[in-house]
Amino acid sequence: MEIRTILVEPKLEENIGAVARVIKNFGCSELYIVKPANIGEKAKAVASHAYDVLSRCEIVDSIEEAIKNSVIVAGTTSKHGISANKHLRMPFFSPRQLKEKVKALGKSGILSILFGSEDTGLKREELMLCDVVVCIPTSTEYPVMNLSHAVAVVLYELSEVEGAAATSETEKLASVEAKERLFMHVKTFLDEIGYKEHKKEKTMLMLRRILGRAELTGREVQTLRGILRKAEWKIGDVKN
């Protein structure tokens, strides 16, 4: 799904610029703004390299216009203490639940997400235009996030960039066999350095646990064995 971020009557141009940046950070592009305050130099400065998102944004007069062609309209709120029998705020999702819902639907099209004004949030009649209400789980002590921060969290959760970074460059983990050879090498090494017999089993188990948790790559196993070999040679050297 394509994500359209809609700001409803934002008051501070810094927030508008910051939202543009966040939109580009998460690989989205559509920004609609209903009756914004002036968008000037400050907004541009905060948008930084996302000036293109800012300059392409659609400025409209009503939410109805902004949500045109959407297949789902989600309204955000910071009020999570609302009782469930208030139909206005039902269904009531966390950003993650919304993502799962959207995924399960398998629909394509535009998912519009509305963010209210800094001072009031989305009003009753604005929330009534939404299919679902989304609330970021925040502390009850201070639940109200800054506008652009709320956009960042929601787009982080919903954008498809997800996972791309962390998985792309990960190295192959060591095989069970390679790790076993490492453990055998360590065991021999403990013998060679005269490690106390009665402590050996326990220590080997500890090392197994440590190295197990570390999820070694093949290259790392090789380096560790290299250190052992080097130490063995040193011991051998001084022996002869």
Give the residue among 50, 45, 48, 57 at the shortest CA–CA distance from 13: 45
44 binds a copy of itself (CB under 8 A): no
* Least distance between a copy of itself and beta carbon 6 (Å): 19
User: Nearer to a copy of itself by C-beta: 68 or 162?
Assistant: 162
Looking at the chain, list the stretches that DSSP marks H as alpha helix, in order from N- to C-terminal side.
Answer: 13-25, 41-47, 51-56, 63-66, 95-105, 124-127, 147-158, 164-168, 176-192, 197-213, 218-239
Give the residue among 70, 99, 98, 69 at the shortest CA–CA distance from 162: 99
Which one among 38, 69, 83, 108 touches a copy of itself, defined by CB under 8 A?
83
94 binds a copy of itself (CB under 8 A): yes
Site for a copy of itself in 11-40 (CB under 8 A): 18, 21-22, 24-27
92 binds a copy of itself (CB under 8 A): yes
Looking from the CA of 104 toward its CB, the CA atoms found within 13 Å total 6
Site for a copy of itself in 125-184 (CB under 8 A): 135-139, 141-146, 148-149, 152-153, 156-157, 159-166, 168-171
* Least distance between a copy of itself and beta carbon 195 (Å): 6
